[in-house]
Amino acid sequence: MRFRTEAAPAALAALYLFLAVAPAFAETEQEKEAAAQADAEERAKRAEQEKEDRAKAPPPAIPGAVSSGDVAPPTKNAAEMSPNDALFDAINRGDGAAARDAMNRGAQLDAKNVLGQTPIDAAIEANRNDITFLLLSLRGSVSSGAPPRATPASARAGFGHGPHSHSLSATAAVAHAAPPNPGTPNPSVGFNGF
């Protein structure tokens, strides 16, 4: 019996400690949950505010020219890749800045990836609108590395008459060609009169 009487005060002390500490522990857990809930609500409010700000912002000059902002991290250093490989990597990741950098380094618009796609084809298929617009805007200004096209026979028609006609090259013949007929204005037709 003596054991029970000595254990009773210890048990009562443990019970008192539990009853005193348990509410405090529960309060800290509730405080943590309330703080986490408040943080989640604040993040949701911020995300909603950013969404509203984007909706209120004026549209881009060219629809689709603004990236979605979701860019995957690079797997390789761009300096270690050829410009064409870096361009296709940027398209796959959705990184418009890296695509611009690859074009500045000399990437070719007529290059093909392992699927046989050009950079424009790959950007369209991956729905990378900002990169597609970049590549489309650079079509005429970037040398493709392909040999120059031959001048069509219709552009050379009318040349070759005269004593020095054999010395004119096809390019010189095109340079001396008369400008095409721009048309006759007809204001009754509509906008610009054409």
Residue 30 lies in a domain: yes
Q: How does residue 28 score in pLDDT terms, banded at 50, 70 and 90?
A: confident
DSSP 138-176: TTTTS--SSPPPPPPHHHHTT---STTGGG--HHHHHHT
33 and 82 housed in the same domain: no
Residue 99 lies in a domain: yes
Of 86, 102, 137, the domain-final residue:
137
- pTM for this structure? 0.44
| HSE-CB for 169 with a 13 A CA cutoff | 3
13 and 46 housed in the same domain: yes
Residue 93 lies in a domain: yes
CATH value at residue 98: 1.25.40.20
49 and 92 housed in the same domain: no
Q: How does residue 165 score in pLDDT terms, banded at 50, 70 and 90?
A: very low
Does residue 140 or residue 133 have the better pLDDT? 133
Residue 37 lies in a domain: yes
Residue 166 lies in a domain: no
51 and 94 housed in the same domain: no
Radius of gyration of the chain (CA): 36
93 and 130 housed in the same domain: yes
52 and 87 housed in the same domain: no
88 and 122 housed in the same domain: yes
Question: Range of 133's domain?
Answer: 78-137
49 and 83 housed in the same domain: no
- Write down the pLDDT at residue 155: 46
Give the count of domains, the chain.
2
Query: 65-77 as b/e, with b when 16 or more CB fall inside 10 Å?
Result: bbeeeeeeeeeee
Check pLDDT > 50 for residue 147.
Answer: no
Residue 106 lies in a domain: yes
Q: How does residue 150 score in pLDDT terms, banded at 50, 70 and 90?
A: very low
- Write down the pLDDT at residue 119: 95
Residue 24 lies in a domain: yes
Of 111, 137, 163, the domain-final residue:
137
Check pLDDT > 50 for residue 34.
Answer: yes
Round to whole Å and give the CA distance between 159 and 177. Answer: 9
Round to whole Å and give the CA distance between 74 and 86. Answer: 10
82 and 52 housed in the same domain: no
